[in-house]
């Protein structure tokens, strides 16, 4: 078991990574003293797999529990669902002291975190990530959001959870596609910060995808530590440090939205990382052999190499909403080697177009 502390402006919170971590949640919550009324936000399928037992363990420790379900899929990260949840919480929250439990993947984490941030100007919440992607990325760092039709994550808040409970044994019920999806973010960490992690994934992706519990636990812990380090240095993304976590996301988010979420987040990010690597080579920052290594690893997972059914102008239009862009000036996270990136602005439209053409 490891307990990794994320230090932020309003204090610090633990990310507990361990097999069986979720069994201890009610006991841990007693220590945190957040209240006795748990509102679990989840999907029906995750409730059946893990929510029922979590509810029982809360009840057995004297908590009341309200379970609120939303449908699976990115479409639930919407203003409609956020407001519906808030109405349901308000109806339940009479003479109570509630805290929210986000039990699920990144969609649940972002949505439930956003609801926690805005209901009564903020109520406490904890993250219990159940997808690979959520365990290594979205559950950590307090970025909460919903989508608009103009783009992903355009409404949101920085709002940190009080604790994150990460139990890699729940990953055994993920589909192969969902495991591959999470792998994109793990590869991203290798590219932006840790060449040895990149090598570890190259050497071990097969057993990891086959759910080798020891290797998976090691990968989750290593990724969590990188995310914690980056976030603690730049909690609200004001210093240009946290921005590096967006490697591959400028084009990735645009592909996700343009494809109406045909591509899962990690799949779109994989395509975006290919474009970012290409752009890095075109700018003369990255040597072509490193680009080849990045592309080969993405292909081996396998994650997509070509984009289907989306036209380039759609991607270019949606990219304008990228939060990294300032005014009409673009900004991209580009690699200088495997393990190191930098933020680069004012790249010519010509080069961007050339880089995007590499995934067609």
**Identity of the residue, 282 or 298, whose beta carbon is nearer to ligand NAD in the bound complex:** 298
Task: Using CB under 6 A, pick the residue from 18, 134, 277, 282 that binds ligand NAD.
Answer: 134
Nearer to ligand NAD, 178 or 330 (CB): 178
Q: Which stretch binds ligand NAD (CB under 6 A): 120-128, 172-180, 300-308, 331-339?
A: 172-180
CA distances from 16 to 6, 32, 106, 297 (A): 11, 14, 17, 29
Kindly state the smallest distance separating residue 81's Cβ from ligand NAD, in Å.
12
Instruction: Give the x/- contact pattern for ligand NAD in 174-203, rule: CB under 6 A.
Output: x---x--x----------------------
Q: Going residue by residue from 222 to 241, which x/- string records binding to ligand NAD, judged by CB under 6 A?
A: --------------------
Say whether residue 34 binds ligand NAD (CB under 6 A): no
Q: Does 116 bind ligand NAD (CB under 6 A)?
A: no
By CB under 6 A, tell whether 51 contacts ligand NAD: no
The HSE-up count of residue 119 (CA atoms within 13 Å, CB side) is 26
Decide: is 72 part of the binding site for ligand NAD (CB under 6 A). Answer: yes
- Of residues 26 and 156, the one with the C-beta less far from ligand NAD: 156
Give the C-alpha separation, 135 to 106, whole Å: 9
Q: Does 70 bind ligand NAD (CB under 6 A)?
A: no
Q: Could you tell me the smallest distance in angstroms from the CB atom of residue 99 to ligand NAD?
A: 19
Question: Does 143 engage in binding with ligand NAD (CB under 6 A)?
Answer: yes
* 253 within 8 A of 276, measured Cβ to Cβ: no
Contact 252, 274 (CB under 8 A): no
Could you say which of 40, 107, 184, 223 contacts ligand NAD (CB under 6 A)? 107
Q: Does 131 bind ligand NAD (CB under 6 A)?
A: yes
- The residue ranges that bind ligand NAD (CB under 6 A) are 43, 45-46, 49, 72, 74, 77, 104-108, 110, 130-131, 133-134, 137-138, 141, 143, 152-153, 170, 173-174, 178, 181, 264-265
């Amino acid at each position: 078991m490891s307990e990794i502390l994320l230090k932020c402006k309003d204090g610090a919170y633990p990310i507990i990574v361990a097999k069986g971590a979720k069994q201890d949640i009610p006991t841990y919550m007693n220590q945190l003293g957040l209240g006795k009324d748990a509102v679990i936000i989840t999907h029906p399928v995750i409730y059946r797999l893990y929510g029922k037992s979590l509810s029982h363990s809360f009840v057995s420790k004297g908590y009341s529990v309200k379970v609120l379900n939303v449908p699976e899929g990115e479409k639930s990260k919407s203003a409609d669902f956020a407001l519906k949840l808030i109405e349901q919480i308000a109806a339940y929250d009479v003479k109570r002291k509630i805290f929210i439990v986000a039990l699920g993947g990144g969609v649940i984490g972002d949505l439930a975190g956003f609801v926690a941030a805005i209901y009564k100007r903020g109520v406490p919440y904890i993250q219990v990530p159940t997808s690979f992607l959520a365990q290594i990325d979205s559950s950590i760092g307090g970025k909460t959001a919903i989508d608009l039709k103009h783009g992903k994550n355009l409404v949101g808040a920085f709002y940190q959870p009080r604790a994150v409970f990460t139990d890699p044994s729940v990953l055994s019920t993920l589909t192969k596609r969902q495991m591959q999806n999470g792998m994109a973010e793990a590869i991203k960490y290798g590219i932006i910060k840790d060449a040895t992690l990149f090598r570890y994934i190259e050497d071990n992706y097969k057993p990891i995808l086959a759910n080798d519990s020891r290797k998976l636990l090691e990968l989750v812990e290593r990724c969590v530590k990188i995310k914690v380090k980056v976030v603690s240095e730049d909690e609200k993304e004001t210093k240009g440090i946290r921005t590096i976590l967006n490697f591959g996301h400028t084009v990735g988010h645009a592909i996700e939205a343009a494809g109406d979420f045909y591509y899962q987040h990690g799949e779109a990010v994989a395509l975006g990382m290919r474009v970012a690597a290409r752009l890095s080579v075109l700018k003369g920052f990255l040597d072509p052999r490193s680009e080849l290594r990045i592309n080969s690893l993405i292909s081996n997972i396998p994650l997509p190499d070509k984009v289907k059914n989306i036209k380039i102008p759609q991607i270019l239009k949606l990219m304008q909403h990228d939060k990294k862009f300032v005014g009409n000036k673009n900004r991209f996270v580009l690699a200088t080697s495997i393990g190191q990136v930098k933020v680069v602005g004012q790249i010519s439209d010509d080069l961007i177009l050339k880089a995007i053409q590499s995934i067609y």
